[in-house]
């Protein structure tokens, strides 16, 4: 059940949308493993409305003020990704748009190797390929605040 890859910004409630910009960087490959787990796929499909491409786009936030805002959002926002067993890593999910048009979500894992300036973005497509992104390229994210 894949939802359309592209959607307009208007489909994300504007009063609850935060704009961020960052640079693309390579990850350590753990996103692909996490996104390949059955219960994770099922919950992302239910919450975000798409089957995730098996990998994340890692984005390092550029602006210090936006990083402060992201830290506030990540503390309390998002829909829970609840593991079936308590010893399994879960997380939270926030709906997003990449470059104002590609449906995506930001995954906030309960356990991560990354500093909090790095966002892990998922989508139904390989964002690097669709947008022609390479390490160091800038990318814009519109992230919906959810409680």
Residue-range domains of the chain with CATH: 15-144 (2.40.30.30)
User: Confidence class of residue 111 from pLDDT cuts 50, 70 and 90?
Assistant: low
19-28, 69-78, 98-107, 118-127 — which is least confidently predicted? Answer: 69-78
Residue 83 pLDDT: 87
Residue 12 pLDDT: 44
Output the CA torsion sign for 60, 48, 33, 73: positive
In 3D space, the residue among 21, 123, 4 whose CA is nearest the CA of residue 70 turns out to be: 21
What's the whole-number average pLDDT of the chain? 85
Round to the nearest angstrom and report the end-to-end CA distance of the chain: 25
90-102 tens-digit pLDDT: 888 999 999 999 9
| Average of per-residue pLDDT across 3-12 | 44
User: Confidence class of residue 114 from pLDDT cuts 50, 70 and 90?
Assistant: low
Reported pTM: 0.85
């Amino acid at each position: 059940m894949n939802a359309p890859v592209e959607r307009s910004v208007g489909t994300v409630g504007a009063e609850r949308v935060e704009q961020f910009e960052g640079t693309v960087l390579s990850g350590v490959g753990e996103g692909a493993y996490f996104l390949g787990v059955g219960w994770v796929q099922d919950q992302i499909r239910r919450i975000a409305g798409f089957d995730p491409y098996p990998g994340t786009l890692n984005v390092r936030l550029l602006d210090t003020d936006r990083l402060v805002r992201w830290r506030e959002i990540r503390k309390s926002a998002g829909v829970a990704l609840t593991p079936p067993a308590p010893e399994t890593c879960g997380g939270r999910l926030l709906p997003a748009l990449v470059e104002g048009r590609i449906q995506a979500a930001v995954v906030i894992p309960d356990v991560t190797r990354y500093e909090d300036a790095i966002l892990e973005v998922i989508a139904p497509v390989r964002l690097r390929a669709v947008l022609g992104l390479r390490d160091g390229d800038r990318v814009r994210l519109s992230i919906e605040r959810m409680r």
